[in-house]
Structure 1
Amino acid sequence: MSQAAPAIAVEPQQDWWRGAVIYQIYPRSFADSNGDGIGDLPGITARLDHVASLGVDAIWLSPFFTSPMRDFGYDIADYCDVDPIFGTLADFDALIARAHALGLKVIIDQVYSHTSDQHAWFKESRASRDNPRADWYVWADAKADGSPPTNWQSVFGGPAWTWDARRGQYYLHNFLSEQPDLNLHNPEVQDAALAAAQFWLERGVDGFRVDAINFAMHDPQLRDNPPAPDDGRPRTRPFDFQSHVYNQSHPDIVRFLERHRALTDAHGGAFTVAEVGGPTPEAEMHAFTRGSTRLNSAYGFDFLYAPQLTPALVRKAVETWPDEPGTGWPSWAFENHDAPRAVSRWVEPEHRAAFAAMKMLLLLCLRGNAILFQGEELGLTQVEIPFDKLQDPEAIANWPLTLSRDGVRTPMPWQAEAENLGFGSGEPWLPVGTDHAALAVDRQTAENGSLLNLTRGLIATRAANPALREGAMAVIAAEDSLLVFTRELSGQRLTCAFNLGKTPLAWHPKDMDRFRVIAAVNGATPGDLPAYSGMVLEQID
């Protein structure tokens, strides 16, 4: 599927994370060490050799904290402990030690917009209106007619307010009712959140992925959201009918992020990347990463929910991050735990293998950090989960209109012939993919032309070429199926050319004899771009 030229030495970097390749691990579905059907921290530790063999710089662990698991760990009941289904703090320490021994940095999630309703803070807050944590969450009186304080709607469906008889007030929850929103306007709540971050920094983590940070502060005036204009996109939830002006995205979020950055800088410059959702997240992503006193990076959903991968989409996404002083550093993901597998969204089944190779090269050529979701290196497909086996609360609440997140969270296939494909001895919490045995790690490791081995080679090529890892990017063609852009740094000039469609294209650079191919997939050559192919050319004079 590929060819690669000898690499050149990469210069030492001041910031390890700039241009890094980060591998996301969803703990429930990575590896089950004790046979209970749920992945755990010892399982991750036992499989870190596979991750290290890819050549990635870091792992990002989705939540493993104490939780009732109403939203599978994003409803945290204790920020500073490990849920027993995943192991213990000692297991986490062992994971950190093994990752660092393998040269892998460790990034973990932090969720500052909400907690579980089982968190001790919320239990105290809801007990009365005058206790020490009474103002740690967002409480408001009912309107005169008893209805909720505002028209705000929950991401998961229905009003974003739930009545609590103990206080005789409503509390805000932008997500599940079991995920009450923290009042991050309160300095004491900020202190508590930063103390939790410090706890993990002192245990050796190298950074944080900050979940849903644009939901972290609300409008204290409790103004109603205006209706959203109909842009033609499907509306499957009440949430989709509003412009989210007041329930999120408060300008004071950046003040908290500056406090957060001061903490991470005090611990050796730990890396921070924000998740920023919504249809137009660019302004917030730039605000959250501007200058040197806020977060290092951010990513949105440019590709995660896109129905097609097109040159126009790539151009639009990358050009929102100009290489200018004061502008933050982007991160990119084509797949994650919340979005369907890209090969099932973007291409017909008969072209998946070729498309997966081209997609991998493209992701690794973009300016910014590349985030791979577990199994993406195998070309895993989305698994169809029947209603009676659904676990995802959003999918259950909005079935059948909301695509289940469960289909991307199915167990990793480690061994093609093993029980449960090597995930573990007990029945997995979600079924394994019926076509995933052929894509298992052991089978692809043994195949020279597999996507897994291609991914290893392409990551090595990225790491060895400074222009790919950190260089400036300029799009020079993005029309129909043709995408061409340059990457340039310190005298190294690369041209990256892709055919994102199934019809072969004729394309070649001017003065072809001045270029050499350093990476290519699916038969791409200077002059010809077969279906779903791509290549990287280096100017040699």
Structure 2
Amino acid sequence: MSDWWRGAIVYQIYPRSFQDSNGDGIGDLNGITRRLDHVASLGADAIWLSPIFTSPMKDMGYDVSDYTDIDPLFGTLAEFDALLARAHDLGLKVIIDQVISHSSDKHPWFVESRTSRDNPKADWYVWADPNPDGTPPNNWPSVFGGPAWEWEPRRRQYYLHNFLIEQPDLNMHNPEVQDALLETMRFWLARGVDGFRLDTVNYYFHDQDLRSNPPNPDGSQEMATDTYGMQDHIYSKNRPENLAFLERLRALTDEFDDRMMVGEVGDGGQRAIDLMAAYTKGTKRLHMCYSFEMLGPDFSAGHFRRVIEGFLNGAPDGWPSWSFSNHDVPRHVTRWATHAEDQDALAKQTVALLMSFEGTIGIYQGEELGLPETEMEYHELTDPPGLRFWPEQKGRDGCRTPMVWQNDAPHAGFTTGTPWLPVKVPQIARAVDLQDGETGSVLAAYRAMIGFRKSRPSLVEGRTEFIDCKPPLLAFQRIADGDALTCVFNLGTSPTSVSVTSDARLAHNQFASVRNGQLKLGPNGFAFLEHDDASSPVKLKL
């Protein structure tokens, strides 16, 4: 088996917003197929499709009602097969989202489970009796606000939902549930998909004694308008029983050639690093994991070093996946805007930073254009958290607005109809056709940096050795057999400099110069340094 996923570049497609082919305002599989050449032109190795399965769309497909069919909004199984074939023709692997911690409440399994306490699916979801006073069995909250328990009068019990009420949690302690989910995944593997992105992989199991979570020691909140982050979620997720199930998942994928799994760890801080390490340890669990550690507001040398070193030290035989943006968080050029005077400069620096990391790299659609977060008005929203907690929580619609292809076309070429989310002027001004072929564009910078990464074995497979520097400098060496680079980033908004060995030269850079043993970096500058001895890294003189 090949480890094609090691060091690969995975391009995330949010199907609703990529390309509409039939004028209904919603992106679809045929639209994705039409635009795959764009993805291939970046130098990506794979695409990750957010959920495309049959769904009532209460949470935009993350509430699945049929795990083995395509939602009519997106197309048909035959159109999926065509997309898969075209992607493979272009040399792109295809990874699909698997949402198996919970289903839709419209899934036939739950429809049956909720009818009584003695039906064949009665124990397929997490059910609990009320307390003597009628309250839920414990203090677990939903990520989307309110308690994680909903009353079902037919059973006179509560069911668990870590997310929306319409997303009941499956009971993974039941072997029948595990078996059924594995069979749905086998369906897609047999169809030819190359891997799975596992949604909320640390939520699969719950504490069977239903013990209440203790307070979070630091009292932090995960959402500004909710109390979810005020608990330490040691009983409602992150359970040790998960490891055995991950081994079952790995055994399934290992039945097929060249397949992989990447897990989303929905947690932060040291626990996220520890979970990533545990979930990828050895060769019997996940191939790789990623967390939200780089999807937050922190843009500092210390933060990036802590997260990367934490994983590399904690899981020396594991493999990480890093990304700066996705469909759940504000786009990073907006999130980190205070760290730059020029948005394009930040976009170009961050792609260089991301592509220099040891691991597999994720790009979210539109990131390669430097798209900022879309400013939404309340009447334009579709996302449940935004609708519930506006204006303090604006939801996730701002990072999910449609891809912009043509500056002078209606809705920037996304659709001939009315788009499900608006396409606005700041995004249209960054359309693909305006940047394609333009040397100084963000799109050109992405293509160049991806090409540079792929040309240097040190960046794809080399080990990482950090160099102690004063902030805002971040510096490290990437070293592989016969190839070495010293990577230096100025994460600040003022010029800075550092002494280097006299024979150092720039292999790739932005706002950087080397002269008389001095590396000068402008705001948001970066430099990849090399010298004549390609197997030895350039030294910084600190």
TM-score band (shorter)?
A: over 0.9
Q: Any idea what SS the aligned residue of 2:426 has?
A: coil
Residue 291 of structure 1 pairs with residue 282 of structure 2: yes
Hey, what's the Cα distance between the residues in 1 that align with 2:532 and 2:146?
A: 59
Hey, what's the Cα distance between the residues in 1 that align with 2:167 and 2:360?
A: 30
Structure-1 residue corresponding to 2:311: 321
Hey, what's the Cα distance between the residues in 2 that align with 1:168 and 1:325?
A: 45
Q: Describe how 1:290-439 pairs up with structure 2 within 5 A.
A: 290-305=281-296, 307-322=297-312, 327-348=317-338, 350-439=341-430
Contact 2:274 2:314 in 1 (8 A): no
Structure-1 residue corresponding to 2:231: 242
After TM superposition, give the deviation of residue 287 of structure 1 in Å.
Answer: 1.1
Residue 146 of structure 1, aligned match among 134, 142, 162: 134
Q: Describe how 1:196-207 pairs up with structure 2 within 5 A.
A: 196-207=184-195
Q: Any idea what SS the aligned residue of 1:435 has?
A: helix
Structure-2 residue corresponding to 1:276: 265
Residue 512 of structure 1 pairs with residue 502 of structure 2: yes
After TM superposition, give the deviation of residue 232 of structure 1 in Å.
Answer: 5.5
Hey, what's the Cα distance between the residues in 1 that align with 2:386 and 2:490?
A: 34
Hey, what's the Cα distance between the residues in 2 that align with 1:46 and 1:493?
A: 39
Hey, what's the Cα distance between the residues in 1 that align with 2:142 and 2:48?
A: 27
Q: Any idea what SS the aligned residue of 2:312 has?
A: coil
After TM superposition, give the deviation of residue 326 of structure 1 in Å.
Answer: 5.3
Hey, what's the Cα distance between the residues in 2 that align with 1:132 and 1:232?
A: 42
Whichever residue aligns with residue 443 of structure 1, its letter is: L
After TM superposition, give the deviation of residue 265 of structure 1 in Å.
Answer: 0.8
Contact 1:492 1:538 in 2 (8 A): no
Structure-2 residue corresponding to 1:484: 475
Q: Describe how 1:53-202 pairs up with structure 2 within 5 A.
A: 53-202=41-190
Shift in alpha-carbon separation, 1:192–1:415, aligned structure 2, 3 A: same
Contact 1:235 1:241 in 2 (8 A): no
Shift in alpha-carbon separation, 1:436–1:206, aligned structure 2, 3 A: same
Hey, what's the Cα distance between the residues in 2 that align with 1:86 and 1:504?
A: 48
Larger RCO of the pair (alpha carbons < 8 Å, separation 6+): 1
After TM superposition, give the deviation of residue 492 of structure 1 in Å.
Answer: 1.4
Residue 436 of structure 2, aligned match among 427, 433, 445: 445
Deviations 1:312-362 (A, max 9, x none): 111111111226875310100100000101111112474111111011100
Residue 52 of structure 1 pairs with residue 43 of structure 2: no
Deviations 1:111-146 (A, max 9, x none): 111000000000011111111111100001111111
Contact 1:323 1:472 in 2 (8 A): no
Q: TM-score, structure 2 length as denominator?
A: 0.95
Contact 1:312 1:478 in 2 (8 A): no
Unpaired runs of 5+ residues, structure 1, are: 1-12
Structure-1 residue corresponding to 2:536: none
Shift in alpha-carbon separation, 1:478–1:41, aligned structure 2, 3 A: farther
Contact 1:521 1:535 in 2 (8 A): yes
Whichever residue aligns with residue 264 of structure 1, its letter is: T
Contact 2:300 2:472 in 1 (8 A): yes
Contact 1:354 1:522 in 2 (8 A): no
Hey, what's the Cα distance between the residues in 2 that align with 1:479 and 1:58?
A: 37
Structure-2 residue corresponding to 1:528: 520
Hey, what's the Cα distance between the residues in 1 that align with 2:224 and 2:385?
A: 14
Hey, what's the Cα distance between the residues in 2 that align with 1:479 and 1:106?
A: 41
Deviations 1:82-117 (A, max 9, x none): 000000001100000000000000001111110000
Cα RMSD (Å) of the superposition? 1.5
Shift in alpha-carbon separation, 1:171–1:422, aligned structure 2, 3 A: same
How many aligned positions are there? 526
Residue 42 of structure 1 pairs with residue 33 of structure 2: no
Structure-2 residue corresponding to 1:252: 241
Deviations 1:248-299 (A, max 9, x none): 1110111001000011111114111100012231121111111000001000
Structure-2 residue corresponding to 1:5: none
Residue 225 of structure 1, aligned match among 203, 209, 213: 213
After the TM superposition, which of the residue ranges 235-244 and 497-506 deviates more from structure 2?
235-244
Hey, what's the Cα distance between the residues in 2 that align with 1:174 and 1:308?
A: 26
Identity of aligned residues (%): 53
Unpaired runs of 5+ residues, structure 2, are: 534-542
After the TM superposition, which of the residue ranges 184-193 and 326-335 deviates more from structure 2?
326-335
Hey, what's the Cα distance between the residues in 1 that align with 2:424 and 2:348?
A: 20
Shift in alpha-carbon separation, 1:235–1:448, aligned structure 2, 3 A: closer
Q: Any idea what SS the aligned residue of 1:53 has?
A: helix
Q: TM-score, structure 1 length as denominator?
A: 0.95
Shift in alpha-carbon separation, 1:323–1:465, aligned structure 2, 3 A: farther
Hey, what's the Cα distance between the residues in 1 that align with 2:485 and 2:148?
A: 49
